Structure 1
Amino acid sequence: MNLQDALFNWLQIRIVAEARPDDQAAQETKQFFEDILREDHKLDEFSVTSDETMYRIKYGSGEQRKLQMFDRESAEQLLSDINSNPKYNE
Structure 2
Amino acid sequence: MRSLQDTLYNWLTIKVVADARPDDHAANETYELFTNILKDDHKVENVQVLKEDPMYYVLYTTEQGENKKVRFPMELIDVMIDQINNEPEKYTNYPK
- The 8 Å contact of residues 59 and 66 in structure 1, kept in 2 or not, is answered as yes
- From 66, 69, 79, the counterpart of 1:67: 69
> Please, what is the CA RMSD of the aligned residues?
1.3
Q: State the AA in 1 paired with 2:41.
A: D
TM, length-normalised to structure 2: 0.87
Matched-pair contact (CA < 8 Å) for 1:57–1:68: yes
- How many residue pairs match? The answer is 90
| Pair 1:78-2:73 in alignment | no
1:89 CA drift (Å): 4.5
- Three-state SS of the structure 1 residue aligned to 2:59 is strand
Letter in 2 for 1:88: Y
Residue identity (%): 40
Give the equivalent residue in structure 2 for 1:35: 36
CA contact (8 A) 1:46 1:60 kept: yes
Q: Which runs of 5+ in 1 are unaligned?
A: none
Specify the code of the residue in structure 1 equivalent to 2:86: S
Gaps of 5+ in 2: none
Matched residue, 1:88: 91
Q: Deviations over 1:20-78 (max 9, x none)?
A: 01101101000000000000001122110011210000012242111000001111001
